[in-house]
Structure 1
Amino acid sequence: MNPKTLSHWLAHIERLHPTVIDMGLERVHAVKRALGLAPSFPVIIVGGTNGKGSTCAMLEAILAEAGYRVGCYTSPHLLRYHERVRIDRREASDRELRESFAEVERARGDLALTYFEFGTLAAMTLFVQTGVDVAILEVGLGGRLDAVNAFDADCAIVTSVDIDHVAYLGDTREAIGFEKAGIFRGGKPAICADAVPPESLRAHAASIGADLREIGRDFGYDTRRLNWRFQRSGADAVVLPYPRLRGAFQLSNASAAIAALDALHDRLPVPESALRSGLLNATVAGRFQILRHAPSVIVDVAHNPHAATALAHNLECSKTGGRTTAVFAMLADKDIEAVIGVLKGRIDKWLVADIHEPRGATAAHLTQALRVQGVDAPIDEFATPALAYRHALANVDSANDRIVVFGSFHTVADVLREEATSPARLTRQQPAASHACA
């Protein structure tokens, strides 16, 4: 098997395994051994229900500003697979991805890896071959049985614990907390940025002898009008600029990233200047990202109740005085009614759309869920999020109105593709002037 193009490779690895998700580490460990993957550089693994991507982005930016060659592996991507694999804040090229895929293909033999397993091994192969100074790996699902957990974390971060992926992780915070704590390692720093961590997470950390550091106990933050302070336990606070990434919850993510870097200071010393510049330069698409102004267009991949709560809070903190129209589409196996329940008071009109994926909810399903939740605002149905977005742009009443696109990575990706072909230029996401609502 020798695909000639990246698209052929991606089609090939999608077909290898009969299911998209097959939890377990046996296959990954076997191919890892065959590849001889034994990274000598520090590995930071980032898990959690929400906030993983933002935390990875801040770690990546800060470490790059400190002069390190950083490998970063995240998922899912919005528009291009290349987004998942970055070195020195540059997306991997077609050639680099093809060559690393070929290495995994040769090593796997008859083992049928999942798409994510194959991609994880390929990313680490590339990081080892290019000699990065540090690798940041984002958990795909859960933690304990996720493919990135085949690699031992020199520092592990759990950003938050909430209900999501119940079919795989359980339907309680205690069950999910145990799964996420699986990325911790004995004798290694384990950072938890959840303000009320499940006891299962604490118990697992204690049982393996991990160095658990909790927000609110071992580190924390407080806010001011023009800046914020990161507080180390028993040390002076560090005054820092607000992150370029918008949203009140980003301070929790930033604190987790800094706590992790503190824990790795002996191997990866980072000056305070790099903290400042990294926070100001870190970006990640689809997280309360502002595409346009007057009217404002905001895209957010919020797809579970916890993320919807953050989105609702951010919308409340950035009122425009006009009407808010939602472009809304979700996957059917998510908690659609709970997401609606959190956001329904912030939306004046709903434009719901089909997602043309096997797990996608139909617009009719979303309309029914909205009515069950007591939404009496106008609802229109569309075949795709892009069509809903076009309608929203064409029916804006004033420059003070806003359009909020949310519900899924698929939803945001469809609108970003539509926006990319629009004659109107995208507005670069700007740093927030104030996080007074934090």
Structure 2
Amino acid sequence: MEKLNNLADWLAYCERLHPTAIDLGLARVRSVAGRMDLRFDCPVITVAGTNGKGSSCAMVEAILQQAGYRTGVYTSPHLVHFEERCRMRGEMARAEQLLPHFARVEAMRGDTSLTYFEFTMLAIFSLLAASNLDVVILEVGVGGRLDSVNIIDADCALITSIDLDHTELLGHDRDSIGREKAGIMRAGKPVVVGDPVPPQSVLDHAREVGADLWRLGHDFNFSGDKQQWAWAGRGRRYAGLAYPALRGANQLVNASGVLAALTALRERLPVTAQAVRNGLAMVELPGRFQIIAGQPTMVLDVAHNPHSVAALAANLDAMGFYRTTHAVFGAMADKDLNAMLGRVGPLVDRWYFTDLPTGRAATGAALMAQWQALNTRKDVHASTYSGPVLALQAAIAAADPADRIVVFGSFYTVGEILRDGLPRISAPHAPSHHQASST
């Protein structure tokens, strides 16, 4: 075997192991996990859904940390550094902590071929299992039923919003996708469904497997005004809560599901009202309607499907008046681009379409062509760039201090910006793009 000296070597090796990037199914990963004797000796919370998973994991983590628990979190994908996928006691894992666990997976897999996601997930699970934690929070990658994370029997499942995404893998309607998400449910265990209007398939599956269903609007609810909000459900009530530190109207729905999950586990993981207040006030997660103060105002959001882009559009609309909105947009080619562009299009005055550093992405030129086919406004300008940083620098150069810049469309789009460091209004002008056009 080749010599693997560091995390970058291991990640490159993992990328070459399996013929496809996504290969849903549990047989391969379950067999290797069995050989590794992989298990958690603490409560496990699994989080699935189309949008809101990362935010929900971060809120659960923040509240439980404020309650004094040693937390572990697995999440994907990462924005900048691979190590973001594993957090322990609130800190990102270090590369040197992960290396022996990559070696352990390699030693135990034998001739079993694993995808990048499966191999890296097993390595992180191995580290979490060895780290003397009080609770582990696992974010599901794609779907639920056949996602590798589902090899673990969770003590509580949390399902956030359900909408159309990864349709080529999960199905072409909410009912089919809901059935896949529902696969993380377990008999006799609580499952919190935070979607206000869940597909019938989710409710049916909870009944079929005998899960303890907690449904928004039935088993728990929330209310609020401009200053504060309240939550109530199954013998527990929280009043006078400050809004979560994560911005956006959708975060209240996410937070409501989080409080239901923690209430469902209160006998094993009791938390005080103060821990809830402090956790929601302190939670941080880059790239989720993240507003960067300055002139012009900048918004970073990993919104990458019609549902999350609709939420982004609503949040942008609620920000108030800006004379010009500049949008840096890069996205995967398999997304419903027409719906995404249609949702946010009325708010954007200048587009900066960008290539992304992955073969799955649409080119900036392809994105602009798709936008031009939809656009009916004569006053909107568009141009294309070879990368998000160049696109953002061009937006900053063109923006007035009172304008705003929105960067969205993919984890890659936001991640490239964060990796390079955020340029501000004083950044050098860099309009060296592929082509430019006004429509």
Question: Same fold per TM (> 0.5)?
Answer: yes
Give the match for residue 276 of structure 1: 277
Please give the per-residue CA displacement for 1:301-334, whole angstroms capped at 9, x wherever unaligned: 1010000011001001112432100001111001
Equivalent residue runs for 1:28-39 within 5 Å: 28-39=29-40
Q: How does 1:59-98 map to 2 (within 5 A)?
A: 59-98=60-99
Which of the residues 387, 398, 402 maps onto 1:384? Answer: 387
Residue of structure 2 in register with 1:435 after alignment? none
Q: Are residue 327 (structure 1) and residue 305 (structure 2) matched?
A: no
Q: Could you say which residue in structure 1 is the equivalent of 2:397?
A: 394
* Equivalent position of 1:408 in the other structure: 410
Q: 2:431 maps to which residue?
A: none
* Separation in structure 1 between the aligned mates of residue 54 and residue 236 of structure 2, nearest angstrom: 28
Matches of 1:292 and 1:252, distance apart in 2: 25
Offset at residue 182 of structure 1 (A):
0.3
The offset of 1:424, in angstroms, is 7.0
Give the partner amino acid of 1:405: V
Q: What does residue 108 of structure 2 align with?
A: 107
- Report the CA distance between 1:188 and its aligned residue: 0.3
- In the TM superposition, what whole-angstrom CA distance separates every residue of 1:34-90 from its partner, at most 9, and x where no partner exists? 011121211100000000000000001101110100000000001100100010011
Deviates more, 1:287-296 or 1:271-280: 287-296
Count of residues paired in the alignment? 424
SS in 2 for 1:417: helix
- Matching of residues 149-168 of structure 1 within 5 Å: 149-168=150-169
Name the counterpart of 1:180. 181
Q: Map 1:306-385 to 2 at 5 A.
A: 306-376=307-377, 377-385=380-388
Read off the aligned partner of 1:388 and give its amino acid letter: A
Task: Tell me which amino acid in the other structure corresponds to 2:415.
Answer: A
In the alignment, is residue 121 of structure 1 matched against residue 96 of structure 2? no
Cα distance in 1, alignment partners of residues 422 and 350 from structure 2: 24
Cα distance between partner residues in 1 of 2:56 and 2:158: 9
Q: Runs of 4 or more off by more than 3 Å in structure 1?
A: 233-237, 420-425
Structure 2: which 5+ residue stretches go unaligned? Answer: 428-439
Give the aligned residue type for 1:29.
R
Q: Secondary structure at the match of 1:67?
A: coil
Distance 1:294 1:414 in 2: 21
**Cα–Cα, structure 1 residues 375 and 413, in superposed 2: closer, same or farther, change >3 Å?**
farther
> Residue 419 of structure 1 aligns to which amino acid in structure 2?
G
What is the match of residue 16 of structure 2? 15
Checking the alignment, whether the CA contact within 8 Å between 1:344 and 1:375 is kept in structure 2 is no
Distance in structure 2 (CA, Å) of the matches to 1:423 and 1:351: 16
* CA drift at 1:202: 0.6
Task: Report the Cα distance in structure 2 between the residues aligned to 1:404 and 1:367, rounded to whole angstroms.
Answer: 16
Matched to 2:408, the amino acid is F
Distance 1:310 1:87, change over 3 A: same
How big is the shift at 1:418? 3.1
Q: Tell me which amino acid in the other structure corresponds to 1:246.
A: R
Read off the aligned partner of 1:175 and give its amino acid letter: S
Paired position in structure 2 for 1:417? 419
**1:182 counterpart SS class:** helix
Describe how 1:279-290 pairs up with structure 2 within 5 A: 279-290=280-291
Query: How far off is 1:239 after superposition?
Result: 2.5
Matched with 1:432 is none
Tell me the amino acid that sits aligned with residue 299 of structure 1.
Answer: L
The Cα shift of 1:369 comes to 1.3
- Give the C-alpha shift of residue 375 in structure 1: 4.4
Root mean square deviation, CA, Å: 1.5
**Equivalent in the alignment of 2:202:** 201
Deviation at 1:236, TM superposition (A): 4.3
For the structure 1 residues 235 and 94, does the alpha-carbon distance in structure 2 shift closer, same or farther, using more than 3 Å as the test?
Answer: closer
Distance 1:143 1:333 in 2: 20
Compute the displacement of 1:264 (Å).
Answer: 0.4
| Cα separation, 2, equivalents of 1:4 and 1:421 | 33
The alignment partner of 2:14 has SS state of: helix
- Normalised TM-score (structure 1): 0.94
